[in-house]
Amino acid sequence: MTKTIACIGSGNMGFALMKGAVRSTGFACRMGFTDRDPAKAAAAAEALHASVYASNEAAVQEGHFVFLAVKPQSLAGVLAEIGPTVRDRLSSREDPLLVSMAPSWSIQRIQEALGGYERIVRIMPNTPALIGQALIALAAAPRVPDYQLHELTQILAGSGTVEPIEEPYLDAVTALSGSGPAFVYLFIEALADGAVRSGLPRDKALRYAIQTVLGSAAMLKETGKHPGELKDMVTSPGGTTIAGLAALENRAFRGTVMNAVDAAWKRSLELSGDA
């Protein structure tokens, strides 16, 4: 059976996940977009050889998987708009799986907005989905069938690693992997700036900083060793690395990073109303 993936919203994240779906889907599928800006939906559809729906209701009517790729402040209006269509499909035993990526909307809140509809999944992807390297945390409502979760995992796998998780942890995931890329980019920029300060040309400094972070992350992943163990492998007595580490610790580097994640987590709680 050919499955249909409908994406309400055609911004960066929605487009990235649909691009990943094109790469990874292990079953026959059709795809379509809708957006409050018709030109954006048309551009996304053209890039992926997909279709454009005339309305959000049409997307829900057609989709086996309906991605709600809209900003949290827009989700209430979208849910109110599609609610009747969702309930009509429920009464005909054609139950679409709704996939939300809005950080401040719990599964229960979405269900209540849809009159108790139960097939809801929340995901928290991050921007590396654009290159197929995302971390995608996934929390599902209890009544979502295993077969739909399996198919959704196939859809998402082309965008990165899919990690099932209990919903209460999603705010922490938002703080770590959702906001984390920005922290990493800032660190890479700072590494490059430090090397420029030491006399390295800007283009080389940035390229070397990127590869250093990329290689270090790959080594952690491949070896399975604790970061502290690999740090110690680089740190010779009285050498350059320990001097640099001491400078970082003098400025509370680890505490600062921890505080950044904590601040992002607290803000996520505030947005969801759980603070």
Average pLDDT of 166-187? 96
> Would you place residue 89 in the very low, low, confident or very high pLDDT band (cuts 50, 70, 90)?
confident
Helices (H), the chain: 12-24, 38-48, 56-62, 72-91, 107-113, 146-157, 170-173, 180-197, 202-223, 227-234, 240-250, 253-272
Overall fold of domain 178-272: ProC C-terminal domain-like fold (1.10.3730)
pLDDT for 274 beyond 90: no
User: Per the CATH hierarchy, to which homologous superfamily does domain 3-166 belong?
Assistant: NAD(P)-binding Rossmann-like Domain (3.40.50.720)
- Is beta strand 97-100 parallel, antiparallel or unpaired with respect to 120-124? parallel
Give the Cα separation of 82 and 147 in Å (integer): 24
Q: What percent of the chain has pLDDT over 70?
A: 96
pLDDT for 98 beyond 80: yes
pLDDT for 254 beyond 60: yes
pLDDT in tens, 101-119: 998 899 999 999 999 899 9
pLDDT averaged over every residue in the chain: 93
> Would you place residue 162 in the very low, low, confident or very high pLDDT band (cuts 50, 70, 90)?
very high
Q: For residue 249, which of 270, 235, 268, 265 has the smallest C-alpha distance? A: 235
What pLDDT score does 88 carry?
85
pLDDT for 33 beyond 80: yes
Q: What percent of the chain has pLDDT over 90?
A: 86
Where do you find CATH 1.10.3730.10 in the chain? 178-272
pLDDT for 26 beyond 70: no
pLDDT in tens, 178-209: 999 999 999 999 999 999 999 999 999 999 99
What pLDDT score does 3 carry?
87
What pLDDT score does 23 carry?
84
What pLDDT score does 87 carry?
85
Average pLDDT of 212-226? 97
Q: Are 24 and 154 in contact (CB under 8 A)?
A: yes
Structure tokens at 38: 């018709």
pLDDT for 133 beyond 90: yes
Where do you find CATH 3.40.50.720 in the chain? 3-166
Angle at 194 (CA atoms; ends 193, 199), nearest 5 degrees: 95
**Stated pTM of the model:** 0.90
